[in-house]
Amino acid sequence: MASARPACGPISTFSRVQILHLVQSRSPRSISELCEATGLHQNTIREHLQRLIEGGYIIPSIEHRATRGRPRTLYSAVTGTPEASSAVARDKVNAAARRGDLMRRAMPATASDLGPRATYQLDALIEHLEESGFEPVIDDAQLTVDLTPCPHAAARPEDRPVLCRVHLGLMQGVLTEAGGPLAADSVRESALPAECTVQLRLTDIAA
């Protein structure tokens, strides 16, 4: 089996994974809440948040308050829904679709049998996963994404559930942002840390 590539991109550190886990679990979050939950300094949190905003994973908003005082900046997870969408994420989706169309013009057989909207979703998903250090293999028939070997295989066993939940949440957001019939359902259980398969599903709009 090939060795796993190291994780890369905006979520290359576990501190950023922790921050994403917190905002995915409950949004919005303030910097002080994130500092308390992670034990990191405010300046470190700000640096991580900026990278996550630039990556299209988190969006900032200004707190609405009725009392005096400077409003806080709050941070929410990008889910791809109209109320939690990111211009960066939308640009990534559109760019992935353009590159996918170029590839399919050269190699028509690479188009998904699931239809054009699902094809664009998969374009965006593949590029997101590659940016995150994965080597995705899509099975249209089984609706699976094989991410073996997982670049997080060497992570501490107690950290892996958080890593899996965060990456699944990011995949769900990418598919929602792209718009179409596919959703990321779950990460299949595996006895080997390097093995990772994500189960997709067709949503009601596929009908």
pLDDT tens-digit readout, 168-180: 999 999 999 999 9
Q: Based on the structure, what is the number of domains in the chain?
A: 1
**Does the residue 2 lie in any domain?**
no
| 29-30 vs 144-146, strand pairing mode | unpaired
Strands across the sheet with 182-187, in order?
Answer: 137-139, 144-146, 197-202, 182-187
Residue recorded with tokens 């950290």: 159
Per cent of the chain over pLDDT 90 is 73
Cα dihedral sign, 79-83-88-93: positive
Residue 162 to residue 38: CA distance in whole angstroms: 13
The number of residues making up the chain comes to 207
| Mean per-residue pLDDT of the chain | 90
The Cα 99–Cα 110 span in angstroms is 12
Choose the weakest-confidence range: 34-38, 54-58, 65-69.
65-69
Q: Which helix (H) or strand (E) holds 97?
A: helix 87-106
Mean predicted confidence (pLDDT) in 87-92:
96
Under 8 Å between Cβ of 48 and 15: yes
What CATH number does residue 70 fall under?
Answer: 1.10.10.10
Residue 4 falls inside a structural domain: no
What pLDDT was estimated at residue 5? 45
State which residues form the domain around 123. Answer: 9-206
Bigger pLDDT: 59 vs 5:
59
Identify whether 40 is part of a domain: yes
